[in-house]
A and B are shown apart, each in its own frame.
Chain A
Amino acid sequence: MKLPPNVSQADFTAALKEFASIVGDQWLFTSDDDLDLYRDSYSPLWGQSDERTASAAVAPDNADEVVALVKVANRYRIPIYPISTGKNLGYGGAAPATSGSVVFDLKRMNRIVEIDERNAYVVVEPGVSYFDLYDYIQKKGLKLWIDCPSPGWGSPLGNALDGGVGVTLAPYRSHFDAQCGIEVVLPDGTMMRTGMGAMPGAQTWQQFKPGFGPRIDGLFKQSNYGVVTKMGFWLMPPPENFATGVVTVPRFHDIIPMVDAIGRLEQAKIVQGLWSLSSPTTGTAAFAAHGTEPQPTDPKVVALLHAPGGVDMNKLDVAANAAGIPFWAANFNFYGPKKFIEAQWECIKDSLGQIPGAGFKLNDIRSLPLPPEEVANMQDLGPLGIPTLRTFSLGPMISYEGEDVTGHIFFSPVIPRTGEAAIEAMELFAGIARKYNLPCPPLQFPTAIFERAFLFAVGLPVTRSVTVNAKIRDILKELVGIAAARGWGEYRTAPAFYELIMGTYSYNDHALLGFLESIKDAVDPNGIMSPGRYAIWPHHLRDTTA
């Protein structure tokens, strides 16, 4: 049996016995066969000595059991690693950040604690998945929508704590920003509620985020200060209608005024639905899940796109313009009353119409819900607030370096919301892709998921080859270095890169990390809670991981 770091066999055995007495023997897992399920399928360290694996797993049924388990862990100084549904593939899955940790598997805690249609909020436990919540709302006929990430088997609570995002309206897309109220078990076993929840009998826990005094909810995002056992979320009313609209602009550098114009509309809350970039010239879309773009057929454009040394954007721009192919398209999603959508569209036309040669097409405004048979044939249901797993059936179906691709990790820098930065990032990362023969389109685009910045998520293949995975890790390190040199930092990463990414947030001799470690030492002096998650280590493990 694997032992947690710095824990004796006797203490571990005694702790496991106490864990079992709390949850029942059947909910304590120590066999290799059971613990295999807590490996990260997408780990870039798969099969290596430094792959992060669990020593045991324990599955409580409720928050009281979590409290009891944490107290035992704290007494024996057993590192624990809470997971919700454990399916955030690409970001660690169910595997702990430190090998030998005991996974707290919270899937059994799948209660929808409260749902309020009138005030549009829900309180969930960690084991509730997006599918569960969607099904519940549908069965009850509640007039509520959820915002979900691509894989619907994730947990709203877990996804929010990981900094996950969705694709509907701006106020709901950042899942941590959409939360309102946290219940958390601290490392000493104290149960705490944030915001208005700190008041016994609070009537507005899910209605007023700031609460009284410092707002500390953010301390529980991408951190290791407690086991979150409940979380409230603001939900959206189901929109009356849905529509898509496309604005095209002719020239490569038109992306600069286009991004500026859309940005002003977003800042003014006129555009709130997610918009995405695509390019009729390169035949590329920002979101593969939104479908594939028609491929260009003009011979000169096609020849330039397949130039051996990479695409010369200036030549491509000229060729596309001569062929009458717009270089860029902004694809908008609209929600709400018909007259509201039409008004938004008029504002977009007024603003983007300032760009010479801009073209506009508002597609049919469709009454919601769409017919089931139509929904069944849509590739991407996220914009309709419907969870799916269809992302797993998407390409690119590839091998890399002769090895079957078994998953991916993300390089996910946040870049400025400007056309200039978009061009710089696109060309920079395309160059890296060419250098390492990575599978990707001629240009990969940033997305506008965040309200004020672009996200430039690049998926890198993971294989089961130690050699190829080492190469991929080196590529990611190179990308991180290139981005950091430009002041672009990642918003989220896989556990194998926590230190790498945190190392780039180094302003004033790593003052941020120093502060986070001070908090860690204060609230978790025994260092039991998810040690190493997001590179926040307890004091007794810091020297060995530096």
Chain B
Amino acid sequence: MITRRTALGAGLALTAVASTAGFSAYARAASGAGGVIDALLIDETMDIPSPVAALIEARPRTVPVVGISLDAAAHERLMLVLGGSRTIAGISSGATLFCVERLGWDHGFRLTARREQRVDDPIGDAFRGDAAAFLAGSSAAAGSPALVRAYRPSRADGVLHAWVMQKSDRPQFRQNRGEA
């Protein structure tokens, strides 16, 4: 198992990219380089098993990795990612997915693919294969009917979810207006 700290040590840049140079520009650059996933969201609130960390590390180098958690600082980062992306993939707990999915709705996102795996079990081929496909931006995997798409909210702990969300044509509710 690795935590965020060890993930960082392993070279996984859980960046605050969104809060620095501007996530949108980064995402556009990633898309322009041929990437399908605009950002990979990694849950900072749970341990990431080593095989999954390896998958993350093997992602296309153009895809920014953004750490997410359920606090105010991460929320601002997440808003930038959701506002500036068309397709995002994530590795997270169910609780984080539950929240990101609902926040994503307000930006026109829908969950299009998901695979789950108990953290305490050895990472299975199915999870590994789908997670790798999600991270590579494989639309074939993302569209597989065999995958359980809709996330049923659960309080079950110790489950790792790999998922993809894509922005639909639905208009975005969130507008950064600030003071009127």
Contact = CB atoms under 8 A, between A and B. Distances in A.
Given A37-B105, A153-B102, A393-B45, A407 B173 contact: no
Contact of A136 (B93, B105, B178): B178
Chain B: number of interface residues, binned into ranges: 20 to 34
Given A392-B95, A392-B99, A111 B177 contact: yes
Nearest to B102: A87
A392 B174 contact: no
Interface string A90-134: 000000000000000101101111110000000000010001001
B153 interface: yes
A41 B105 CA distance: 14
A386 B179 contact: no
A375 B93 CA distance: 21
B155 to A, nearest CB: 5
A381 B102 contact: no
Contacts of A393: 45, 70, 93, 95-96
A1 interface: no
Contacts of A390: 70-71
Nearest to B105: A37
Nearest to A390: B70
A111 B180 contact: yes
Nearest to A113: B180
Contact of B179 (A131, A136, A376): A136
A87 B101 CA distance: 12
B175 A110 contact: yes
A37 B102 CA distance: 9
A113 B180 CA distance: 5
Given A387-B72, A393-B93, A34 B170 contact: yes
A201 interface: no
Interface residues of A, number: 45
Interface string B23-53: 0000000000000000000000100000000
Contacts, number: 96
A389 interface: yes
Contacts of B76: 131, 135
A392 B170 CA distance: 27
Interface in A318-377: 372, 375-376
A37 B110 CA distance: 10
Contact of A153 (B93, B103, B170, B177): B103
Contacts of B179: 111-115, 136
B70 A41 contact: no
B173 A107 contact: yes
B156 interface: yes
A109 to B, nearest CB: 9
Nearest to A464: B152
A115 B134 CA distance: 43
Interface stretch (A221-229, A395-403, A450-458, A474-482): A395-403
A92 to B, nearest CB: 15
6 contacts: A113-B179, A127-B173, A134-B72, A388-B72, A392-B99, A393-B93
Interface of A: 26-27, 34, 37, 41-42, 59, 87, 105, 107-108, 110-115, 127, 131, 134-136, 152-153, 372, 375-376, 381, 386-390, 392-393, 395-399, 404-407, 464
